[in-house]
Amino acid sequence: GESVGLHLPTLSVQEGDNSIINCAYSNSASDYFIWYKQESGKGPQFIIDIRSNMDKRQGQRVTVLLNKTVKHLSLQIAATQPGDSAVYFCAERHGSSNTGKLIFGQGTTLQVKP
Amino acid sequence: ETGVTQSPTHLIKTRGQQVTLRCSSQSGHNTVSWYQQALGQGPQFIFQYYREEENGRGNFPPRFSGLQFPNYSSELNVNALELDDSALYLCASSLGLAGVRETQYFGPGTRLLVL
């Protein structure tokens, strides 16, 4: 079925620590994955994406890891800052789809303690 | 380069009314997708428009309809509003052929409340 799930609804970390947000997906035909950050009252903001032919991709302070064997995606944020506090969504797109339909998970709330 | 903009920011309607939401895509983007985000949930795909044609639709009834204009801006129309239509409506734009794995950039959304 179509579902993208996150393991934890809320993650609380200390400022300066690294954060890891996890996501499980169910469709093995998905070949493109995206992480979005959504702050209160705003639309989702693109963070980083990864295609299924890759295992890892790095951005500025963020790393996305993809494990296709267990259908698991994670977002790592280095040196977490108060400004990182938000809801984080993973989203997938099915490789067989001829549309841009993204399937989102429920979201994980990241709380950064000063 | 301007980002995705949406109007209005907030809207209050009553059951049975009709509503039109508007979206201007990011400069140079020719594909627009609409999503509905209920409180505490992830966005759900409504439909996508590419070069003024609908290209894919999610599990939403026909009373949800849309348009895309030659300048790639878009409208979402919802008829016969129901209480469950209360949500944040998000527009996302992307560049390129629909189905190509192009990043979708979201606007700030329109918060619709149906009473």
DSSP secondary structure of chain A: ---EEES-SEEEEETTS-EEEEEEE--TTEEEEEEEEE-TTS--EEEEEEETT-SEEE-SSEEEEEETTTTEEEEEESS--GGG-EEEEEEEEETT-SS---EE---EEEEEE-
The whole-number pLDDT of residue A103 equals: 92
The whole-number pLDDT of residue A2 equals: 46
The whole-number pLDDT of residue A94 equals: 79
The whole-number pLDDT of residue A16 equals: 97
Listed as ranges, residues in chain B with pLDDT below 50 are 98-99
Listed as ranges, residues in chain A with pLDDT below 70 are 1-8, 96-98
The whole-number pLDDT of residue A6 equals: 52
CB of A13 within 8 Å of a chain B CB? The answer is no
- The three-class DSSP label of residue B3 is coil
Rounded Cα–Cα distance for residues B78 and A5 (Å): 29
The answer to whether A29 and A43 have CB atoms below 8 angstroms apart is no
The whole-number pLDDT of residue A31 equals: 87
- List, in order, residues 6 or more apart from B72 with CB less than 8 Å away: B25, B29, B30, B31, B32, B93
CB of B59 within 8 Å of a chain A CB? The answer is no
Query: Which residue in A36, A44, A100 is closest to B94 by CB distance?
Result: A100
CB of B56 within 8 Å of a chain A CB? The answer is yes
CB of B2 within 8 Å of a chain A CB? The answer is no
Contact A45 B106 (CB under 8 A): yes
CA angle at residue B91 from A54 to B39, to 5 degrees?
90
- List, in order, residues 6 or more apart from B83 with CB less than 8 Å away: B15, B114, B115
The whole-number pLDDT of residue A1 equals: 38
The whole-number pLDDT of residue A4 equals: 64
- φ, ψ of residue B85 in degrees (nearest 5): -80, -10
Chain A residue numbers touching B101 (CB-CB < 8 A): 31-32, 51, 93
